[in-house]
Structure 1
Amino acid sequence: MKNANNTYVFPIATETIKEYEETDVQELGQRYIDLFEFYLQDDIASKFRKMLVIEQYSSPRAAELFNEIFIDMPLNYITILFTVLIQNGKFIHSDASIMALNFYSPLFLLLFKNDSATTEFEQLKSLLTNHIEVFIQNHANPEK
C-alpha cells in the first residue's frame, strides 16, 4: 500500500488486489497497521485528514472527499480484497461486505480517537494490532 513516493495510501485500483492473492493474511494485517501509523503520524496526511473533517460541514466537496477517501474507497477495496480471500479459501465463507465493515470500522474509530482523546499512539496501535489478530483468527480458514 505504498505508492511510488514511498507513502502509504489506500489502494485505489482494484488491479492491486492480484498482488494480495498470494499474501499471507498476517502480512496483510501488518500492512494495515503500517497504513494506520502513516495516517496518524505523517504530518501532511494527518493535517489533510483533519482539514477534511472540519471542512466537511461547510463544504459539500470536502464532505464528498472525506467520504470517498476515508469511508467509501477503503470499504470498497477491503470488500473486494476479502471476496478474493474467500474465493481463494484463505478466509471462511461469509459476506465480504459485512466482513469489510467489521474490519474497517475499528480502524476508522481508532484513527479519529487519536484526534480527540489523550490516548497514546502506542496504546491505539496495540488495540489495532489486537483487533486485526482477533479478526484474522475469526475469519481465516483453518485449513489454509
Structure 2
Amino acid sequence: MEKRDTKQKILGAALDLFSVRGYDGVSVKDIAAAVGIKDSSLYKHYKSKREIFATLLEGMNRRFEETVTFYRLPQGEISQVTRQYGENDLEWLKKAVDAIFLFFVNDPYAVKFMHLLMIEQFRNNEAAELFGEWFIGGALSFQTSLFGEMMKEGYFREADPRAVATQFYGPILLLVLMYDSKPEKQEEALRLLHAHIEEFAKNYHISHGENK
C-alpha cells in the first residue's frame, strides 16, 4: 500500500509542477523533492520522467472515458452517435455539452493537464500534437464528421461541415479558456454556454416537425 501511495504522490507532484513550469522545466530531482524523497528512490517507482508523463496521459484518458461513460454520452460508430444526437432534444444536448465542459474547467487533473500542454506546446512537438488532439484538431475532426452525417440524415440543414464544426466548437473552447479553474463563476459560464448552443441550434438544427 505504501508503494502505491508513493507512486500516486509522485504523479500528483509531477502534475502540479508540470502544470506550472511545463515538462521541460521540471527535473526528476524537482519531483522527488516535492514528494519528500530522494531522486534515487523515485526511480524505484518510475524509470524516468518520460514514464511519469506517459502515466499521467493514461490517467487523463481514463478520467475522460469515465466521464463519458458516467454521463452516458454517445459512443461507437459515427452513424450510431449521429442517431443519438439527432433524436434527442436541445435540453439533452445542453447536458451532454455541460458534462464535457465542466470536466475541462473543474476537474483538477484535467485542468492541470491542459495547462501542461498549453505551456509545453511551443517547445515540445509531442505536447503540441497532444494539445491539438485534445483541444483543436481532434475535436474539430470528430465534430466535422458528426455534423456531416447529421446533414446527410436530415437532422441539420446543409452547410459546410467543417465550418459548422468550427462555429460550434470555437466558442466552447473560448469559454473553457475563460472559465478554467473558476468554479465560483460556473453559473455564468453555463449560461453563456447554453446561449451559444441555443443560437447554434436555431441556425442549423431541423426540428422533428419540419420537412427534411
TM-score, reference length from structure 1: 0.84
Q: What pairs with 1:5-16 in structure 2 (closer than 5 Å)?
A: 6-8=66-68, 15-16=77-78
Q: Secondary structure at the match of 1:120?
A: helix
Q: Secondary structure at the match of 1:57?
A: coil
Which residue of structure 1 lines up, in the alignment, with residue 206 of structure 2?
Answer: 141
TM-score, reference length from structure 2: 0.59
Task: State the 4+ residue runs in structure 1 displaced beyond 2 angstroms.
Answer: 2-6, 27-30, 115-119
Greater relative CO (CA pairs within 8 A, separation 6+): 1
CA distance in 2 between counterparts of 1:97 and 1:130 reads 21
**Structure 1 residues 93-140: Cα deviation after superposition (integer angstroms, max 9, x where no partner):** 111110000000001111111249898222111101110011011111
Residue 30 of structure 1 deviates from its aligned partner by 2.6
CA distance in 1 between counterparts of 2:202 and 2:83 reads 19
Residue 88 of structure 1 deviates from its aligned partner by 1.0
Give the 3 Å change call, closer, same or farther, for CA 17–31 of structure 1 in structure 2: farther
Unaligned runs of 5+ in 2: 1-61
Task: Tell me if structure 2 keeps the 8 A contact 1:79–1:100.
Answer: yes
Query: What letter is aligned with 1:105?
Result: G
Unaligned runs of 5+ in 1: none
CA-based RMSD: 2.9
Question: Over alpha carbons, which structure has the higher Rg?
Answer: 2
Task: Tell me if structure 1 keeps the 8 A contact 2:105–2:181.
Answer: no
Which residue of structure 1 lines up, in the alignment, with residue 137 of structure 2?
Answer: 72
Task: Tell me if structure 2 keeps the 8 A contact 1:17–1:80.
Answer: no
Give the 3 Å change call, closer, same or farther, for CA 105–5 of structure 1 in structure 2: closer
Residue 82 of structure 1 deviates from its aligned partner by 0.5
Count residues with an aligned counterpart: 141
Task: Tell me if structure 2 keeps the 8 A contact 1:83–1:96.
Answer: yes
Are 2:151 and 1:82 equivalent residues in the alignment? no
Give the 3 Å change call, closer, same or farther, for CA 111–80 of structure 1 in structure 2: same
Using the TM superposition, name which of 78-87 and 27-36 deviates more: 27-36
Give the 3 Å change call, closer, same or farther, for CA 112–25 of structure 1 in structure 2: same
Give the 3 Å change call, closer, same or farther, for CA 139–43 of structure 1 in structure 2: same
Give the 3 Å change call, closer, same or farther, for CA 62–48 of structure 1 in structure 2: same
Give the 3 Å change call, closer, same or farther, for CA 4–126 of structure 1 in structure 2: closer
Residue 19 of structure 1 deviates from its aligned partner by 2.8
Query: What letter is aligned with 1:108?
Result: L
CA distance in 2 between counterparts of 1:7 and 1:47 reads 17
Task: Using the aligned pairs only, state the percent identity.
Answer: 32
**Structure 1 residues 11-70: Cα deviation after superposition (integer angstroms, max 9, x where no partner):** 9x8725513314325223431121101111111111111111111122121111101111
Query: What letter is aligned with 2:188?
Result: Q
